[in-house]
């Protein structure tokens, strides 16, 4: 994993768990958007490659095309979620199901009744679209990784 991806993932976790809670504001509202648009396309490609490997027993095959497609999909989805109410509602509900097991475990450990699935909070802010400027980053990261991988294969042959 590239350092930029690790930094982006740490930024999202730190922002969502600390900065947004203790220091809400413009900065904390944008950090996760920028960082998420950097690591999420690469995460999607990695998960798809892992599934492909497990199902078909094929070797890893990170392709530039897969990263570009994932990046475009993430960018379009992000723009729709931030600007179109049906997409925003869909996202809130889907993520509610995704995060429910964590909420249930925490509540059970605290002796509280296990909650039902509930939509997550999402601030629908058109200014978040400024984060789309980082979409080339995952593509550049993939190009750099693929360039090094092909260079290593050539040297080792």
What does the pLDDT look like over 139-154, one tens digit per residue?
998 888 877 655 444 3
The pLDDT assigned to 155 comes to 36
The answer to whether 68 and 48 have CB atoms below 8 angstroms apart is no
* pTM for the predicted model, two decimal places: 0.79
Q: What percent of the chain has pLDDT over 70?
A: 88
Q: What percent of the chain has pLDDT over 90?
A: 34
Total domains in the fold of the chain: 1
| 64 to 45, 53, 101, 128: CA distances (angstroms) | 10, 17, 34, 27
Distance separating alpha carbons of residues 141 and 118, to the nearest angstrom: 35
The pLDDT assigned to 61 comes to 67
Domain of residue 18, residue span: 3-156
Q: The dihedral of CA 65, 70, 71, 72: what is its sign?
A: positive
Q: Tell how far CA 79 is from the center of its chain.
A: 14
Distance separating alpha carbons of residues 59 and 50, to the nearest angstrom: 9
The answer to whether 34 and 9 have CB atoms below 8 angstroms apart is no
pLDDT in tens, 84-119: 999 999 999 999 999 899 888 988 899 989 888 889
What are the tokens at 35? 């960082």
Collapse the DSSP code of 123 into the 3-class scheme (helix H, G, I; strand E, B; otherwise coil) and give the result: coil
Distance separating alpha carbons of residues 30 and 20, to the nearest angstrom: 10
């Amino acid at each position: 994993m590239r350092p930029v991806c690790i930094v982006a993932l740490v930024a999202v976790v730190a922002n969502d768990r600390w900065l947004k809670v203790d220091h809400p504001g413009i900065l904390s509202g944008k950090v996760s958007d920028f960082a998420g648009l950097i690591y999420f396309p690469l995460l999607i490609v990695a998960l798809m490659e892992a599934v492909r490997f497990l199902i078909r027993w094929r070797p890893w095959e990170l392709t530039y095309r897969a990263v570009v497609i994932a990046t475009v999909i993430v960018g379009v989805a992000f723009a729709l979620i931030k600007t179109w109410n049906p997409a925003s509602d869909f996202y809130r509900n889907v993520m509610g199901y995704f995060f429910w097991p964590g909420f249930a475990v925490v509540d059970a450990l605290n002796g509280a009744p296990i909650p039902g699935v509930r939509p997550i909070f999402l601030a629908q802010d058109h200014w978040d679209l400024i984060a789309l400027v980082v979409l080339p980053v995952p593509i550049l990261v993939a190009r750099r990784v693929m360039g090094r991988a092909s260079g290593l294969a050539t040297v080792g042959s």
